Chain A
Amino acid sequence: MDPITLSRWQFGLTTVYHFLFVPLTLGLGWFVAYMQTRYYQTKDEIFHKMAKFWGKLFLINFAIGVVTGIVQEFQFGMNWSEYSRYVGDIFGAPLAIEALLAFFMESTFLGIWVFGEGKVPEKVHLAAIWLVAIGSNLSALWILLANGWMQHPVGYVINQVNGRAELVDFFALVGNPKGWLFFWHTIAAGMATASFLILGVSAYHLLRKQNVDLFKRSFQMAVLVGLIASVLVFLGGHTNGQYMYETQPMKFASIEAHWETSKPASFSILTIGDLSGKREVWSIRVPYILSFLACNNFTCEVRGVNDIQAEYAATYGPGDYIPLMVVTYWTFRFMMTIGIVMILLSAFFLWSLRKPIENAKWMKWVPWVIVLPYIANMSGWFLTEMGRQPWIVQGLLTVEKAVSPNLTTLDLLISLIGYVGVYGTLAGAMFYLMKKYAIAGPDATLNESVDVDVAPSDSVAQLVGSQD
């Protein structure tokens, strides 16, 4: 295995892992801030319990998101030094701004929120959780603007003397539609992820008739937000797709397994390729739909993979410019199917709120909805990043030329195995705690200063047994 393949795997694995935790942070922060605001306004103890309980799950998740984010910031220089030299003049700016604007904000105010209750004025404590939510979402904005630039470079020139890309228009970078579309799509996905977690955990407790009032309110809140967010994710995705067709036609054609340019273009429901994943063998298609996805018009022409490949070979020199289609094609279908299922599910939950839902027969299946947004989130990033291949910066630099030249296979094996080991262990600890606290419920969260002298099994029993 060569360093470049290992670097790719490492970047992919660590990034996907990091993004397992990010969407929940982005969405759940707003929920907790809202709940605490309601408590501040009404002094109704139930909102206090709600904010504490969901806030605890927020913190368990947040911890891993933050520390794995540090790796992200360092990896560009560590594994992709030639990328960093080539784009640092542009790409470094949003990263530095993210740290200065967002990281300081979320970490400082998170400290105040966790340790400040009863120590700082109530208003300050409330402001702290809002600033945490704003800070984490601001962080998403800047990193997505950075990623947006990799997908659709703007506001730059290639310096002929030193051969690198240099920034000439900061406002083009900040106003890049690609970045803002990603932001829309990602923030909505974060809200949907948080909503579905709340739905699932609430359903678990409602089934057992524990803290019914609290979890009913949580459920109602999450249903409403979940429905709006899922629709926004869908619309954002559709708009993203159209912009992708304009700016990254190859990615667009590859996620649709659309080989030949056609007018109007049909949408593939199922395409079977050959073993190389680069030739179509057989497919089922719906006419006109792909044209609509590309340009909101049922009859426009949609360019196919073969045409674009020929054009790229002419522009950038001979080479293979087709992404791994089996990945882009299927991850897109996973993402879209789950997106639609999430809209339908939240609409159904909303409709069923007419009657007491805790008695519904299907309630026992609801905890499983928690996994849906996670699969969709992962799929979305797989297709976004792998659909850009072989480019690291669309049209400017390929991944192969971006890797650090000094790294050896041994270096990468050490770090890759190290990350997998540590990340795997942490995921285990995190999953254990999430489940424990989610199941133990809000009363256990409130009495958290559990005594260490008690034997472990007893104290867990105490935690669980103290529910009403």
Chain B
Amino acid sequence: MSYEFLQILWFILIAVLWIGFFFLEGFDFGVGMLLPFLGKKDEERRAIINTIGSVWDGNEVWLLTAGGATFAAFPHWYATMFSGFYLALFLLLIGLIIRGVSFEYRSKNPDPKWRNRFDWMIAVGSFLPSILLGTAFANLVRGVPINANMTYTGNLFTLLNPFGLIGGLTMVSVFLLHGANFLTLKLDGDLHERVHALSKKLYIFAAVMVVLLAITTYIFTDITNKIGINPGITPIASVVVLLVTIYFINRKMEGWAFFSTGIHIVLIQITFFTLMFPRVMISSTNPAYSLTIYNASSSQYTLTVMSIIALIFVPIVLAYQGWTYYMFRKRISTEKKALVY
């Protein structure tokens, strides 16, 4: 396999890991953010947590694997992005930490105050990564200040520009909708009805944000130079898919509604990665300083070894993770004796 082929392959593989992460963890971030607002009683909150209880941790590993794969395949990308987005990633880590511990600890003490505190930590811990990753990806596409030594020269506030914030809020809104659509699939009874009503409202928020993001992408990125005014099928499809989601929500076609927000997330991410390619960190200081799959990658030998390992183990992981979803496909009721604490 040629060096260039391997570099492209690993760009695609890392994109796939991110896309998988956003598809899967997207709904459990959404569920986490909705938790304290949707669950009125303790059993309801427990039922909401149980919809993602058996899968959220596995979903999160997609992020860790994306990070590890970036380190192994594109060390300069990993080094520049992780050191550059230092405080943003620090906040993201704090979010993931308090969220992960809260899932495990919230029911370990019957004190309602204890539980409420951990439920809010789940919500905040789901919100922080969502808005930060959305902001980070918008900035990756827009470009950030990077000097000739591949070092990021901005700070946290460099990332909090209008386009970055629109990206962050879009991700929050889409995850909320994706999470609500997931919950309509997994819950029953009164709670199910409330989620359904909520997802109609969340739909408006998400649709507005996505359209806004699509428009501002033309203003803030080099999309017109790179692709032209007609962006092609993927971005158009991503907006269209989201716009038709309301049809499925109104008709209570819950599987289709969840599937379409998922597809929307996939398409919007493909758009982002297409805009970046073959660059991995776009320099707003000087296009010549951008990191690309060619100047940021590992050696051909390492990429070959990692390709063989990925070829063997990725299908295995996909098989058993898919099987977990199949195992826990049943709806979750809020009856106390049926709940796993």
Contact A426 B97 (CB under 8 A): yes
Out of B50, B114, B298, B339, name the residue touching A92 (CB < 8 Å).
Answer: B298
Question: Which of the four size classes fits the interface of chain A?
Answer: 35 or more
For the complex, is B230 an interface residue (Cβ under 8 Å from A)?
no
For the complex, is B94 an interface residue (Cβ under 8 Å from A)?
yes
For the complex, is A310 an interface residue (Cβ under 8 Å from B)?
no
The stretch that binds B, out of A61-69, A293-301, A314-322, A326-334, is: A61-69
Contact A107 B60 (CB under 8 A): yes
When chains A and B are docked, how far (Å) is the Cα of A429 from the Cα of B78? 33
For the complex, is B81 an interface residue (Cβ under 8 Å from A)?
yes
Contact A448 B58 (CB under 8 A): no
Contact A115 B53 (CB under 8 A): yes
- Cβ of B100: which chain A residues have Cβ within 8 Å of it? 63, 66-67
When chains A and B are docked, how far (Å) is the Cα of A437 from the Cα of B109? 10
Q: Contact string, B70-90, partner A, CB cutoff 8 A, digits 1/0?
A: 111101101111111011011
Shortest Cβ distance from residue B121 to the other chain A in the assembled complex, whole angstroms: 10
Chain B positions 216-231 with a Cβ under 8 Å from a chain A Cβ: none
Most-contacted residue by chain B among A74, A85, A167, A436 (CB, 10 A): A74
Out of A76, A95, A115, A166, name the residue touching B299 (CB < 8 Å).
Answer: A166
When chains A and B are docked, how far (Å) is the Cα of A107 from the Cα of B113? 28
Contact B54 A116 (CB under 8 A): yes
Shortest Cβ distance from residue B308 to the other chain A in the assembled complex, whole angstroms: 9
Chain B positions 99-113 with a Cβ under 8 Å from a chain A Cβ: 100-101, 103-105, 107-113
Most-contacted residue by chain A among B53, B57, B112 (CB, 10 A): B57
Contact A114 B54 (CB under 8 A): yes
For the complex, is B328 an interface residue (Cβ under 8 Å from A)?
yes
Out of B97, B113, B155, B309, name the residue touching A100 (CB < 8 Å).
Answer: B309
Q: Contact string, B266-309, partner A, CB cutoff 8 A, digits 1/0?
A: 00000000000000000000000000000000110110011001
- Cβ of A166: which chain B residues have Cβ within 8 Å of it? 298-299, 301-302
Contact B327 A78 (CB under 8 A): no
Are A168 and B301 also in contact (CB < 8 A) when A66-B100, A100-B313, A107-B57 are? yes
Q: Contact string, B39-73, partner A, CB cutoff 8 A, digits 1/0?
A: 00010000000100111111011001101111111
Contact A96 B306 (CB under 8 A): yes
Contact B110 A450 (CB under 8 A): yes
Shortest Cβ distance from residue B139 to the other chain A in the assembled complex, whole angstroms: 15
Q: Contact string, A98-122, partner B, CB cutoff 8 A, digits 1/0?
A: 1111011001101110111101100
Out of A71, A84, A115, name the residue touching B71 (CB < 8 Å).
Answer: A84
- Cβ of A81: which chain B residues have Cβ within 8 Å of it? 79-80, 82-83, 151
Are A100 and B314 also in contact (CB < 8 A) when A77-B78, A108-B324 are? yes
Most-contacted residue by chain A among B71, B105, B324 (CB, 10 A): B71
Are A92 and B101 also in contact (CB < 8 A) when A119-B328, A405-B151, A454-B110 are? no
Shortest Cβ distance from residue B72 to the other chain A in the assembled complex, whole angstroms: 3
Most-contacted residue by chain A among B42, B68, B302, B321 (CB, 10 A): B68
Contact B305 A95 (CB under 8 A): no
For the complex, is B96 an interface residue (Cβ under 8 Å from A)?
yes
Contact A451 B110 (CB under 8 A): yes
For the complex, is A337 an interface residue (Cβ under 8 Å from B)?
no
Contact B75 A92 (CB under 8 A): yes
Decide if the interface of chain A is mainly helix, strand, loop or mixed: helix
Contact B68 A95 (CB under 8 A): yes
- Cβ of A108: which chain B residues have Cβ within 8 Å of it? 57-58, 61, 320-321, 324
Contact B340 A114 (CB under 8 A): yes
Out of B71, B113, B339, name the residue touching A95 (CB < 8 Å).
Answer: B71
Contact A85 B101 (CB under 8 A): no
For the complex, is A433 an interface residue (Cβ under 8 Å from B)?
yes
Question: Which of the four size classes fits the interface of chain B?
Answer: 35 or more
Are A93 and B58 also in contact (CB < 8 A) when A88-B71, A100-B317, A407-B83 are? no
Contact B302 A78 (CB under 8 A): no
When chains A and B are docked, how far (Å) is the Cα of A97 from the Cα of B55? 21
Most-contacted residue by chain A among B42, B72, B340 (CB, 10 A): B72
Are A459 and B82 also in contact (CB < 8 A) when A99-B65, A422-B94 are? no
- Cβ of A90: which chain B residues have Cβ within 8 Å of it? 302
Instruction: Give how many A-B residue pairs fall within 8 Å (CB-CB).
Output: 240
Residue of B nearest to A454 (CB): B110
Q: Contact string, A50-89, partner B, CB cutoff 8 A, digits 1/0?
A: 0000000001101110111011011011110110110111
When chains A and B are docked, how far (Å) is the Cα of A117 from the Cα of B299? 46
Shortest Cβ distance from residue B234 to the other chain A in the assembled complex, whole angstroms: 27
Contact B301 A167 (CB under 8 A): yes
For the complex, is A348 an interface residue (Cβ under 8 Å from B)?
no
Out of B55, B97, B111, B305, name the residue touching A456 (CB < 8 Å).
Answer: B111
Contact A60 B108 (CB under 8 A): yes
For the complex, is A42 an interface residue (Cβ under 8 Å from B)?
no
For the complex, is A281 an interface residue (Cβ under 8 Å from B)?
no
Are A448 and B104 also in contact (CB < 8 A) when A96-B65, A110-B57, A114-B54 are? no
When chains A and B are docked, how far (Å) is the Cα of A99 from the Cα of B69? 9
Are A89 and B298 also in contact (CB < 8 A) when A111-B55, A415-B86, A456-B111 are? yes
- Cβ of A88: which chain B residues have Cβ within 8 Å of it? 71-72, 75-76, 78-79, 298
Give 4 A-B pairs besides A104-B65, A406-B84 with Cβ atoms closer than 8 angstroms: A62-B104, A74-B67, A95-B68, A104-B61
Can you spell out 27 A-B residue pairs with CB atoms less than 8 angstroms apart? Answer: A62-B104, A64-B101, A67-B97, A67-B100, A71-B97, A74-B67, A74-B89, A82-B79, A84-B71, A88-B76, A88-B298, A93-B72, A95-B68, A96-B69, A104-B58, A104-B317, A107-B58, A108-B57, A111-B57, A115-B340, A166-B302, A407-B86, A411-B86, A411-B87, A429-B105, A436-B108, A436-B109
Q: Which residues of A are interface residues toward B (Cβ below 8 A)?
A: 59-60, 62-64, 66-68, 70-71, 73-74, 76-79, 81-82, 84-85, 87-93, 95-101, 103-104, 107-108, 110-112, 114-117, 119-120, 124, 159, 164, 166-168, 170, 404-407, 411, 414-415, 418, 422, 426, 429-430, 433, 436-437, 448-452, 454, 456, 459-460
